[in-house]
Amino acid sequence: MHAETTSTERKAAALAAFKDLPREPGVPKPDPILVVDKVVRRFGGLTAVDVDHVEIQRGSITALIGPNGAGKTTFFNQLTGFDTADSGSWTFNGRPMNGVPAHKVARAGMVRTFQLTKALSRLTVMENMRLGAQQQKGENFFRALLPGSWRKQEAEITARAEDLLTRFKLIAKEDDFAGSLSGGQRKLLEMARALMVNPELVMLDEPMAGVNPALTQSLLGHVKDLREQGMTVLFVEHDMDMVRDISDWVIVMAQGNVIAEGPPSTIMSDERVIDAYLGAHHDAPLSESDLETQLHEAEAALEAEIEEETQK
């Protein structure tokens, strides 16, 4: 279940790009769409993100993994303008993006989804989809008052939304309120809605969180499909099966830093990654002297306790 049996042209191209890369954090990629340099975000005394250098290869599916609290979501927030980095810079398609507000990041073609799904509950599924379309004439206050000026565009948007909803098997729900969908369907809707923006880079924050296993396969298929359509995908995920199944390259974060990069097949056997997940000394045997000191400490503690008891 781990290896792709029917690898496609795009997948082959993505894998070829990664073939001879060294497994070092911040390794340069042949054709990066996103280049991040020295991004730091502190919350008081805590440095949540301190990424020295990282590049995302165009046309690939890159996974961002790491233990809880590694700063993955915070890093996402910096890149997409939802939070302000304390320092650092990053470029998307060569265009500097630091300090750019979230809505302009999305317009530039870098669209994200959220860990906790943000379906617009009291809008219908179709209205959710239409909202994603860019440069809508009817979103201007004065043109909105003249329905004739935006009807034609609205029809085109609706047609595109119907195509996407059919692909994501949500077309039967198009007139239902988004709030009435199940958790998995909301994830699908959020992904479909992000595609309405026509993004170049899709950033998925835990696309599988809370999704019923029956829907997982379909969601995985949709993520792979994004690459087939020429988009670049960067996603945060905890489910290692999924990471192995669909990603072409894996970036590992721990305590705010990028600590390792590599292909999904070997990344989990990387020393640094195991250390980050399980602790540096998890498998080191105890030496004779360690045992001695531990024994003495335990004895001393016991004696102190007994003494306390007798004094009472």
Partner 1 sequence: MDWITIISTTLKAAINVETVLYALAAIGINIHFGYTGLLNFGQAAFMGVAGYGLAVTVTVLGLPFWVGIFVGLAAAVLLALLMGIPTLQLRADYLAIVTIAAAEIIRLIFRSVAFKDVFGGSDGRRGFSEGFHALSPFPEGEYGFNLGPIPIFFPHWQLWVMVVGWALIALCCGIVYLLMKSPWGRVLKAIREDEDAVRSLGKSVFSYKMQSLVLGGVIGCLGGFIYGLAAGSVQPDVFGTETTFYLYTMVILGGAARVLGPVVGAMVFWVLLVLIYNTLAEAVGSGYITFLTVYQVGAVRWILVGLGLILLLIFRPQGIFGDKREIAIDAR
Residues that bind partner 1 (CB under 8 A): 80-82, 101-104, 106-107, 111-114, 118-123, 127-128, 130-132, 134, 136-141, 143-145, 147, 150, 154, 177, 179-180, 193-194, 196-197
Strands 110-112 and 32-43: unpaired
Q: Which is nearer to partner 1, 123 or 215 (CB)?
A: 123
- Residue 23 makes CB contacts below 8 A (sequence gap 6+) with 260, 261, 262, 266, 267, 270
Q: Which is nearer to partner 1, 143 or 160 (CB)?
A: 143
Q: Which is nearer to partner 1, 79 or 252 (CB)?
A: 79
CB of 180 to partner 1, least distance (A): 7
| 112: nearest Cα among 198, 237, 201 | 201
DSSP string computed for 184-222:
HHHHHHHHHHHHTT--SEEEEESTTTT--HHHHHHHHHH
CB of 211 to partner 1, least distance (A): 18
CB of 103 to partner 1, least distance (A): 5
CB of 17 to partner 1, least distance (A): 28
Q: Which is nearer to partner 1, 121 or 265 (CB)?
A: 121
Cα separation, 133 vs 157, whole angstroms: 7
Q: Which is nearer to partner 1, 113 or 247 (CB)?
A: 113
Whether the CB-CB separation of 41 and 48 falls below 8 Å is answered with yes
Type of residue at 307: E
